Amino acid sequence: MKKFIALLMPLLFGLVAMAQPAPTPVKWTATAVEADATTYEVRLTADIDQGWHIYDFGPYAEDLFIPTTEISIDGAEKVGEINANKAPHREYDDVYEAEIGTWEGKVVFTQKVKAEAEPKTVAIEVYYGACNDQNCLPPATEQLSVKIGAAKGTEAAVAPEEAATEEVVAEEVAPAEEIATATDAVVEPVEEQSNGSLWSTLLAAAAWALAALLTPCVFPMIPMTVSFFVKGGEGGKMRALLYGVFIVALYTLPIAALILITRVVGGATVTADIFNWLATHWLPNTIFFLVFMVFAASFFGAFEITLPNSWVNKSDQNSDRKGLLGVFFLALTLVLVSFSCTGPIVGGAIIGAVSTNNDIWTPILTMLVFSTVFALPFVLFALFPSVLQKMPKSGGWLNSVKVVLGFIEVALGFKFLSTADQTYHWGLLDREIYLGIWIVVFTLLGFYLLGKLKFAHDSEVKYISVPRLALAIASFTFVTYMVPGLWGAPLKKMTGYLPPMATQDFVLTSGGTAAVVAADEVLTADGKAPKYSDVFHMPHGLSGFYDFDEAIEAARKVGKPLFLDFTGLGCVNCREMEERVWCDSRIQDRMREDFVLLALFGDSRQKAAEEDWVTTENGKTLKTIGEINSNLVFERYNIAAQPNYLILDGEGNVLASHSYDLDIENFISFLDKGKEAYSALK
């Protein structure tokens, strides 16, 4: 049994790890220096992120690891063997029964090549593998190039696409740890940064799981299933633990398998495209909206949504089997029986994860957290059955929980319709209309909690309990908070869940005539209004560009760095950054005075001008502004997540980068760092 757990858990977490988008923990740069009259030294620097390592030259039996030996140099004759500036850390591994050598931090590889009479470019290809303590990335190939044959006594120029702005010196001149490349970001893809939005998504998943436990489909099953293990006699506690593991697996593994299949068939880009389509396209968002409305109606008692009885009966019959198989089918029975209550909650958690983070691994982690929290009470009550006696009995209060969730389903459902409305510029759900819907929904929720509204399956409310009164007060307080938003109040606590202020028809503070503070006029290099400025707007009266080429040209003309905001119309975190960070006057002053601003919307479904269409390597033609912008940012800077902020020079090279972070001082520091880096280039 213990062996079974040991095998199952690595499989589960392995699938999660495999489904994650591959990070780039190793940064490679190359230089070439004249060693003597007949040879050059080609130096390859591997800058390895903390917590990661690459393997030494090996060799290793049975291809257990990818040794860093396949470094090919095309265009020059090698002289001698390749060397590293420091010895690898070597340690005997009991699992693989082999001595393993690894490098961490920064390591410089040196390979001598014969000098050429005339300058020429040498192509370099590095094949290596990178691992951390949890998993290993697939083998990667890095392609670089350097020039040899330059004037004697000078360092050879590096090819522009891999240019390093600072000489990498050998260890005898300066230790590898002291080598600094001040403008690495100029020549390397920008790494996606983790942010607090992941934690908020996972906390929301945990909250949804707790809510699911209080529904009438699930709560009564806790004592029923716990009795199964209490009566099981010897081994009951271990079976209870396995029961929790199976519940987690049944919720998480299907999602992980789906993502894994799409990655194997089409690669990480295809998987990301699928999730991007789910998050921004009108069809899935409209379907999600309708599904939420249907489930809300079910929660209100209009009808019951259940899986076919034959599925549940078959699973329940198999749960009588002894051993692990019986425990598995008992877990499957719970998942099937509780579907009518957990279905919309699970769907909402997954859809919320995709919409908020727009990546391929957050949904897996979301389901892992949801299912773990959902399974935990079943396991704990099975381990400590005496606690069951203190639990409240099933009754009408469970249906009240279900109805409350129905109101919340209605409110959240309109978020998906709003996303489709914004990305396709339909103009159906302006900010005040959206707010009006939420105000009505939560007002009705407050009246329901006070017993003024009743649904089909509600029990008679003879008196108002303290918890119901507290929830009613919270609901009416929330309504009171939202009402000023109808006249243009910013409602910062709801930032990200509301349509942007630009869709508001009436704002009291601006005289009631417009929702947007008039932006300073900005013109292209040829004196025209920026492309797509009739479709997009920047917050806080800021002005800028919405096309990369126009913005680069304008930045060169005025001699300022370019601030690139990779954002989205339906991006929750983007709105939070704009309303809670960009609102600071110091930030707005810097953005107006020190930068040319560029906003690239990655989810807009507005059709681009035909001259802006892009044909990818696989032959697909990108026609919408969102697709074109997402492709540009990913190809140039290896960024897919929103929001992301870059400060660029006049050639589009990165001087500084930033992502979701609600600390105002950190954002100011990012702006100042980018401005200083631009001044240093001059």
Higher pLDDT, 336 or 470: 470
Q: For residue 190, what pLDDT is reported?
A: 38
Nearest to 57 by CA among 24, 84, 96, 91: 84
pLDDT at 95 exceeding the cut of 80: no
Give the helix/strand (H/E) hosting 63.
none
Is the pLDDT score of 278 beyond 90? Answer: no
| CATH number of 539-681, picked from 3.40.50.620, 3.40.30.10, 1.10.10.10, 3.20.20.70 | 3.40.30.10
- Predicted TM-score (pTM) of the model is 0.48
- Report residue 639's pLDDT band, with 50, 70 and 90 as the boundaries: confident
Contact criterion met (CB below 8 Å) for 48 and 25: yes
Q: Within a 13 Å sphere around the CA of 158, how many CA atoms are in the beta-carbon half?
A: 22
Split at pLDDT 50, 70, 90, the class of 81 is confident
Closest CA to 108 of 156, 174, 60: 174
Highest mean pLDDT among 297-301, 412-416, 653-657: 653-657
For residue 273, the model assigns a pLDDT of 57
Contact (CB, 8 A) for 373 and 239:
no
List, in sequence order, every beta strand (DSSP E) within 35-168. 39-48, 53-55, 70-74, 78-84, 89-93, 98-103, 106-114, 120-128, 130-131, 140-148, 155-156
Q: What is the mean pLDDT of the chain?
A: 74
Residue whose C-alpha is closest to residue 103's, from 124, 126, 127, 86: 86
Return the higher-pLDDT residue of 355 and 119.
Answer: 119
Strand, coil or helix: 601: strand
Q: What is the mean pLDDT of residues 104-112?
A: 86
Give the angle 79-85-88 at the CA atoms, nearest 5°.
110
Q: What is the biggest distance separating any 2 CA atoms in the chain, rounded to whole angstroms?
A: 99
b/e map 276-311, b = 16+ CB within 10 Å: bebbbbbebbeebbebbbbbbebbbbeeeeeeeeee
Backbone angles phi, psi at 252, to 5 degrees: -95, -45
Using the predicted structure, report yes or no on whether residue 564 has a pLDDT greater than 80. Answer: yes
Q: Considering the chain, what percentage of its residues have pLDDT values greater than 90?
A: 15
Residue holding tokens 């979301």? 366
Q: Give me the mean pLDDT over the 528-535 stretch.
A: 84
Range of lowest pLDDT (125-134, 142-151, 461-470): 142-151
C-alpha distances in Å from residue 10, one per residue of 3, 16, 51, 96, 372: 11, 10, 20, 17, 16
| Distance between CA atoms of residues 588 and 502, nearest Å | 18
Q: How many other CB atoms are found less than 10 A from the CB of residue 1? A: 12
With cut-offs at 50, 70 and 90, classify the pLDDT of residue 230.
low
Per residue in 254-273, is it b (16+ CB within 10 Å) or e — as a string?
Answer: ebbeebbebbeeeebeebbb
Query: Which of residues 408 and 16 earns the better pLDDT score?
Result: 408
Give the integer Cα–Cα distance in Å for 78 and 39: 9
Confidence band for 587, pLDDT divided at 50, 70 and 90: very high
Enter the CATH code of domain 25-181. 2.60.40.1250
Q: 111 or 327, which is more confident?
A: 111
**Mean pLDDT comparison of 169-173, 181-185, 270-274, 276-280, highest-scoring range:** 276-280
CA 537 to chain centre: 25
The tokens 């089997």 sit on which residue? Answer: 321
Average pLDDT over residues 303-310: 60
Decide if 41 contacts 386 (C-beta within 8 A).
no
Assess contact for 368 and 248: CB atoms under 8 A. Answer: yes
pLDDT at 439: 96
Is the omega angle on the peptide bond into residue 59 within 30 degrees of 0, that is, cis?
A: yes
Residue from 221, 223, 226, 458 nearest 339 by CA: 221
d(CA 560, CA 620): 35
Which pLDDT band, with edges at 50, 70 and 90, does 676 fall under?
very high
pLDDT of amino acid 366? 80
Number of CB atoms found within 10 A of residue 438's CB: 21
Q: Is the pLDDT of residue 41 over 70?
A: yes
Q: How many CB atoms lie within 10 A of CB 665?
A: 11
